[in-house]
Structure 1
Amino acid sequence: MELVSVAAVAENRVIGEGDEVPWDLPEDKKQYRERVASHPTIFGRRTYEMFADPPGSAFVVLSRTEREYDRENAYHAGGVDEAVSIAESLGADTAYVLGGGAIYHLFQPHLDRMVLTRVPGEYEGDTFYPAWDENEWLLVETEEYENFTVETWERKHGDKA
């Protein structure tokens, strides 16, 4: 199972303020949804509940408390291993980790790739993408857009937890 995090990250690593993203980049939302559309996505409960229409083909929601969800393709997971098992049970070869901050932090040692939208500037926020050791990662692709850049990072072999 390949685990890939997808996040929009400001220069100061901010990814959110409360339950909001502090910028509006419609073109980024479009490429983000297209990227994850046919794959299971993994969220923390609060991030999942922010979406009226969550992206992805199935939704694995990490929460300390067992919950029921309104969608038949939403599944509860108590931790990283259970979330990965659920995604694998759905026949997926890739699952996308979509936040929030604590979920990105939990999954960071297990990721194979990161697809990061680099948002220019520093923003006020209370949620951050975790720092990572760039020596463990290789920048393999950069896509330039008008107001942002999308970077794809791959973990170097042997560095995954």
Structure 2
Amino acid sequence: MIIMIAAVAENNTLGKNNELVWHLPNDFKRFKSLTTNHHIIMGRKTFESFPKPLPNRTHIIITRQTDYNPEGCIVVDSMEKAIAACPENEDSYIIGGGEIYNLGLPYADIIEITKVHHTFEGDAFFPKISKSEWQLVESEENFKDEKHLYDYTYETYIRK
């Protein structure tokens, strides 16, 4: 299955200047537990926002740059080629950024969202989830605490 995974503000902001604009340690742990040992599809800018490749995951990077070839990664020039590079009978994750989510939405079977209950200024946004195409099947509220400045909810959507 193709699964899109993202942390999204109330106004669909993903980030600004190629960085997250919030810090939710439990969301990082959830992201790691869901994506470890899977293929992850991302854009070049998202890949370059990491200090190093994420361990125990196969990185598929979509870019228009023909000479881009980071060690140990699969580099392609389209979402179709990225999906074709994923194992057929395994879960693969689309992890961003904004343009990649827009390209990936038609291929997604599931969307895993961490909804951050706040609005932020940003320059990258998650596509609007159409209630006519997607059904919310799971929702888990989490409340701000000493490590989390904002309330947030894990939401799982499946395509209708």
The superposition leaves residues 81-108 of structure 1 with CA deviations (integer Å, 9 ceiling, x where unpaired) of: 11011112xx661110000000000011
Higher relative helix content: 1
SS at match of 1:135: coil
Give the counterpart of 1:150 among 144, 149, 154: 154
Structure 2: where are the runs of 5+ without partners?
Answer: 144-150
Structure 1: where are the runs of 5+ without partners?
Answer: 157-161
SS at match of 2:18: coil
The superposition leaves residues 122-147 of structure 1 with CA deviations (integer Å, 9 ceiling, x where unpaired) of: 10111100113111111111122223
Give the counterpart of 1:135 among 132, 136, 154: 132
The superposition leaves residues 5-58 of structure 1 with CA deviations (integer Å, 9 ceiling, x where unpaired) of: 100000000000112111111111111111101110000000011112444510
Tell me how far apart the structure 2 counterparts of residues 13 and 54 of structure 1 sit (CA, whole Å). 26
Structure 1 runs (4+) deviating above 4 angstroms are none
Tell me how far apart the structure 1 counterparts of residues 86 and 24 of structure 2 sit (CA, whole Å). 29
Preserved contact between residue 39 and residue 92 of structure 1 (Cα < 8 Å)? no
- How many residues matched? 151
SS at match of 2:132: helix
Tell me how far apart the structure 1 counterparts of residues 59 and 116 of structure 2 sit (CA, whole Å). 26
SS at match of 1:38: coil
SS at match of 2:86: helix
Return the TM-score normalized by structure 1: 0.89
SS at match of 2:111: strand
Tell me how far apart the structure 2 counterparts of residues 103 and 61 of structure 1 sit (CA, whole Å). 10
Give the counterpart of 1:106 among 80, 98, 103: 103
Aligned match of 2:148: none
SS at match of 2:28: helix
Aligned match of 1:159: none
The superposition leaves residues 62-121 of structure 1 with CA deviations (integer Å, 9 ceiling, x where unpaired) of: 001232112x2x100111111011112xx6611100000000000111110100000011
Percent identity, aligned pairs only, is: 34
